[in-house]
Amino acid sequence: MKFKLALAQVESKKSAGKNLAAAAKIIEKAKQKGAQLLVFPELFMSSLPPDADLTQTQQHVESINGPFVTAMRELADRWQLWLVFGFREQNASVSDSRVQNTVLVVDEAGEIQGVYHKTHLYDAFGTQESATVAPGNKLFEPIKTPFGKIGLFVCYELRFPEIARYQALHEADLIIVPAAWYQGKQKLNHWQTLVTARALENTVFVAACDLPATNQCIGHSLVVDPAGEILQQAGTQDQMLLATIDLQRISQVRQFLPAANQRRAELY
């Protein structure tokens, strides 16, 4: 089967209200372009600098029943469109004041079908995400959708091939990667190489949606097919990327590249 996927590489502002207004326009546009699934970048609800402290971070927190999530669910229902988006969520642990980096998968009726708390935090390149974010303790379990089975992880987790392999072993056809991939030396090369590798080594589709350069990120959101071919890629600025996903491509690639069935798990 074929379906149309959209990636919203769009600036996240400090104000959740402004981001919600921007999302409403993007969702309408994506629907008009024929998209059935729309992905936003990591922590799209509100933007903070990478060096924001815990006090600042706590001012940008909502619950899963808060106004931003509720409004996004209503937009999904209004436009009959599946959405994937992130926000900073209040931590359920009373002993930990850090927030959680949460991604939701919402269906075309506005119902939450998947929840993921980022498990591997960005403590690298001089940044310490774990100072303000509490890690999740469970990988995302791929979910069945009208577009096949969808897997998910977030940004820095591209650097852990075991996470993508877990998604593939649980029969994900498409892995979605919301991201805030900060600029820096070789970071674009890392991004493109890792996204492509995660698709190729698992012979699945990978769709990675980054923030643009205005958020100090590299942009270059992309969709890669199971053979490692880049189907679509954005530039550095705001852009809505559209790609047609043909799930038959997975079985076609696995006919000449059957690595998924050649693993010797007993040796690992």
User: Which residues, in sequence order, are bridge partners of residue 209?
Assistant: 178
Q: Is 29 a catalytic residue?
A: no
Catalytic: which of 62, 89, 129, 155? 155
Q: In what order do the strands lie in the sheet with 205-209?
A: 143-145, 148-152, 174-178, 205-209, 222-224, 230-233
Q: Is 42 a catalytic residue?
A: yes
**Unique residue bearing structure tokens 């774990």:** 130
Residue 239: name the closest of 91, 77, 26 by CA: 26
Per the structure block, which two tokens stand in for 95? 């002993």
pLDDT string in tens for the chain (268-residue length):
899 999 999 999 999 999 999 999 999 999 999 999 999 999 999 999 888 999 999 999 999 999 999 999 999 999 999 999 999 999 988 899 999 999 999 999 999 999 999 999 999 999 999 999 999 999 999 999 999 999 999 999 999 999 999 999 999 999 999 999 999 999 999 999 999 999 999 999 999 999 999 999 999 999 999 999 999 999 999 999 999 999 999 999 999 999 989 999 999 8
| Percent of residues in the chain assigned helix, strand, coil, to nearest 5 | 30, 30, 40
Per the structure block, which two tokens stand in for 241? 């990327």
Catalytic: which of 11, 42, 129, 157? 42
Q: Which helix (H) or strand (E) holds 22?
A: helix 16-32
Rounded to two decimals, what is the model's pTM? 0.97
Catalytic: which of 118, 129, 149, 157? 118
**Which amino acid is it at 34?**
G
Q: Is 155 a catalytic residue?
A: yes
Residue 209: name the closest of 34, 50, 42 by CA: 42
Mark residue 232 as left, alpha or beta (left: phi above 0; alpha: psi -120 to 50; beta: remaining).
beta
Per the CB < 8 A criterion, the answer to whether 221 and 187 are in contact is no
Question: Radius of gyration of the chain from Cα atoms?
Answer: 17
